[in-house]
C-alpha cells in the first residue's frame, strides 16, 4: 500500500494528472472516513487507466469500481463504496442519469452532432459519459446533478430538433453498429502489426499512434508496439475505431501468422 504522496510521485506526469489523482484519492479517503458513497467525474480511457493504477497502489480495490452505466462502457466514473454496500448496490446507487434524445426518423445525426451540441451548452465534457447513437436518436449518460439542466436546454443537435426524456438506466439502448469480420496475416502478433492490419493503417502510422497513447489494449493504453496480442483481446484506436481479435490460425509458407478479427462499424 502506497501513500498519497508516493502514488502522485509515481503516476502523475503533469499538473492535470496530479489534480485528477489527488481528487481520486481524496474521494477514497472521504468514503473510508465518513462511510458514504463517493465518486469521480466521468473519465476517458487514459484517465481510467491512471486511476485504476492509483487504486491498486493505494490498496483499496476491495471497495472501488469503475462504472459507466452499462457493461463495457468506455467512459465512466470511479465509485468508492462503504462496508455496508457491495458492488451491485454501489452501481445501483451511482449518481448517473440516462437521457434519451428522440429525433425524427428522416434526420441523420451522428455522435459528433450530439456531443457538439452538448458542449455548446457550455458544460464540461467530464459530466457526460458515453453517447450511444441508435435508430431512434441517442442514449446519453450524464451525472445526475446535470440531468435537469440538460433536459431543460438541450433541444437541437446538428441543427435538427430533438426532444429529451429521462429513462431508467436498466433500459439503455445499445449503440447501433455492425460488426465486420476480417482475416489477414501478420509477421507476428505484435500490437503494431495487428493494429495496422485490422484498421488498414501503414505500419509506421500504427507505431506512431501507439507511442502517442492513442491505442488501447483491453481499455488500457499500451505504449509498446512490440506488445504481444492474444485471442480475445480488444483494440481501440482513438479516432479510428474498435475491434476484437477472434483467433490466430496457422502460419503461411513464409511464416506469417493468420488472424481472424471483428471490427465495429458505426
DSSP letter for each residue of 193-205: HHHHHHHT--HHH
At which residue does the C-alpha cell 455548446 appear?
120
Residue 197 has what pLDDT? 96
Question: How far apart are alpha carbons 176 and 132 in whole angstroms?
Answer: 8
What is the percentage of the chain residues whose pLDDT exceeds 90? 89
**Which residue positions in the chain have pLDDT lower than 70?**
266
Residue 15 has what pLDDT? 97
Of 100, 89, 150, nearest to 121 (Cα)?
150
Residue 251 has what pLDDT? 87
Residue 266 has what pLDDT? 61
Amino acid at each position: 500500500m502506497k501513500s498519497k504522496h508516493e502514488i502522485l510521485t509515481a503516476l502523475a506526469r503533469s499538473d492535470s494528472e496530479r489534480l485528477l489523482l489527488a481528487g481520486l484519492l481524496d474521494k477514497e479517503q472521504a468514503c473510508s472516513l465518513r462511510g458514504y458513497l463517493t465518486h469521480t467525474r466521468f473519465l476517458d480511457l487514459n484517465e481510467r487507466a491512471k486511476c485504476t493504477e492509483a487504486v491498486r497502489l493505494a490498496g483499496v480495490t476491495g471497495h472501488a469500481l469503475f462504472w459507466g452505466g452499462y457493461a463495457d462502457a468506455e467512459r465512466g466514473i470511479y465509485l468508492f463504496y462503504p462496508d455496508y454496500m457491495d458492488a451491485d448496490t454501489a452501481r445501483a446507487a451511482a449518481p448517473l442519469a440516462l437521457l434519451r434524445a428522440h429525433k425524427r426518423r428522416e434526420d441523420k445525426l451522428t455522435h459528433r452532432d450530439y456531443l457538439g451540441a452538448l458542449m455548446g451548452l457550455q458544460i464540461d465534457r467530464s459530466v457526460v459519459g458515453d453517447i450511444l447513437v441508435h435508430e431512434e436518436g441517442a442514449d446519453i449518460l450524464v451525472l445526475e446533478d446535470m440531468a435537469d439542466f440538460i433536459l431543460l436546454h438541450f433541444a437541437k443537435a446538428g441543427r435538427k430538433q430533438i426532444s429529451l426524456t429521462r429513462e431508467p438506466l436498466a433500459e439503455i439502448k445499445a449503440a447501433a453498429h455492425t460488426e465486420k469480420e476480417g482475416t489477414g496475416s501478420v509477421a507476428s502478433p505484435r500490437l503494431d502489426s495487428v493494429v495496422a492490419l485490422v484498421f488498414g493503417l501503414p505500419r509506421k502510422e500504427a507505431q506512431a499512434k501507439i507511442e502517442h497513447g492513442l491505442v488501447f489494449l483491453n481499455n488500457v493504453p499500451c505504449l509498446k508496439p512490440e506488445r504481444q496480442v492474444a485471442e480475445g483481446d480488444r483494440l481501440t484506436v482513438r479516432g479510428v475505431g474498435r475491434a476484437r481479435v477472434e483467433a490466430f490460425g496457422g502460419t503461411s509458407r513464409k511464416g506469417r501468422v493468420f488472424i481472424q478479427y471483428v471490427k465495429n462499424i458505426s
